[in-house]
Amino acid sequence: MTSVAFFILTVGLILGLLWTLQEMILKGRWTYFIFFLAGFLPIYISFLSLTYLNTRSEVLVTVFQALKEVVVFIALVAAVLFQKKPADYPFRLQITDWWMGGFLLIGFSYLLLPIGEVPFLTKASYFKGILLPGLIYFLGRNTVFENGEISRFFSMIFIVAILAFGLNLMEQFVLQAHIQQHTGYALYNQVINDTYPTGNFGLSWTFETQALTKRLASFFADPLELASSVLFGFAAGLIWFLTSKREEGFPYLVVMLCSMGSLFFSSSRSAFGAFFIMLFFIAVIFKLYRLILFGLSLITAFVIFVVFFASEDFYYFVIDTLTFQNASSVGHVLEWITAIESMIENPLGVGLATSGNSGTVTDEVRIGGENQFLIYGVQLGFLGMILYILLLGFSISRSIRVFRQTENLMTARIAFTAAATKTGLLLPLFTSNAELFSYVNWLTWWMVGYAMNEYSKIKDEKA
């Protein structure tokens, strides 16, 4: 069964790659790289796991690992080569461009400077993870799509959300096991990442709750990535539902319901909190005060369920979570304290690849790691952390402006989805190395860049 799945996915990947390269290189549509990423990134780890399980080839795994970076760099080169009049390129930099450029610059400086004990190649590998979202942002910054192309892009997001929920149902009721137990996930991590299986399901502790129940991940890397990604799908489905005729809204309701279903299967507490933060954000933007009431009603219903109807184990699980007494919450706090102490002792940072859960960060040098803001603070100092916070803040605020001021409906949908998702991800950023979730982060940085392109036009029209 796994060999059949591997064959189908490999054929699909090769065909998708050839189509993307044809569009980018032969037709000059370098912007189409985003379609490849939208299709490949959700299944990235599952596909690599199946590749090693079926071939036992580390070389082939390395080749497939590099595909996403290769496609982005080809898009970057093509964007330059297909620029008709490079000398006439309009450099209209917005404040988000400055913050993104500054963040990449400080990261590049820490790559070159002899800071920390991490080898240069390891730092370079880590810096690649910082650089790529920035490049994707600037590619989005120069992308102009027709309405049909944007519709195709959103359709891929919707399909991912529906398929993820469908696989969750299969895991829960048919397989009664994580799909990762059949794809070679543990073997892949052990051989490729030198990470040995943990937990009661032979995967990692991330795949189970403290009550030893399953946390599902569908075809994503882990339940945390699934949880973050379904926030993305829900925001996209909601804006299409709210901006479409009511008789055309049913498919988007399906997307939202599937996203909420996957959110429950992932059992991520931070994602549940992020979901309500996103609902509040959406209610404020649209002045949908009934949506705020709906959110408060859900919270009230949950409290009543916990207090009067939940099992004793679940009751104390919730109480311990809220009071930071359960093992996971205590672990977060300890990681934060360690990171903060490092920042106080080293306000300029201790160098790249010294914090977080990236594969390039070894336990010997790791300081903290379960808070994206503090991860950058440990490595790049207070300046790097502040630049990242400013970048997020202005990305959200400027995307909201584009949503409110643009006359292009499709662009407004992109701007809204970017702002809502980035807002919803703020809470997971406090409890995980969330920038590692390439599907949701790379695509939303592209969407922020696309929105900033429109923001430049709006400013020019008002000037």
**pLDDT tens profile 104-138:** 999 999 999 998 889 999 999 999 999 999 999 99
10 Å Cβ neighbour count for 269?
Answer: 20
Arithmetic mean of pLDDT over the chain: 88
The two three-digit tokens of residue 334, written as one number: 């300890």
What length is written for the chain?
Answer: 463
Residue type, 152: R
Distance CA 217, CA 201 (A): 13
Angle subtended by helix axes 147-169 and 250-266, to nearest 10: 40
pLDDT score recorded for residue 169: 95
- 168-195 per-position pLDDT tens digit: 999 999 989 999 999 999 999 999 988 8
- Grade residue 232 by pLDDT with cuts at 50, 70 and 90: very high
Residues of the chain with pLDDT > 70, as a percent, come to 91
What are the backbone dihedrals phi and psi of residue 289, each rounded to the nearest 5 degrees, phi first?
-70, -20
Distance CA 326, CA 379 (A): 28
For 82-110, what is the mean pLDDT? 84
Residue type, 385: M
**0.85 cut: is pTM over it?**
yes
Residue type, 151: S
Q: How far does the chain reach from its first CA to its final CA, in angstroms?
A: 61
- 284-310 per-position pLDDT tens digit: 877 777 767 776 777 787 678 667 766
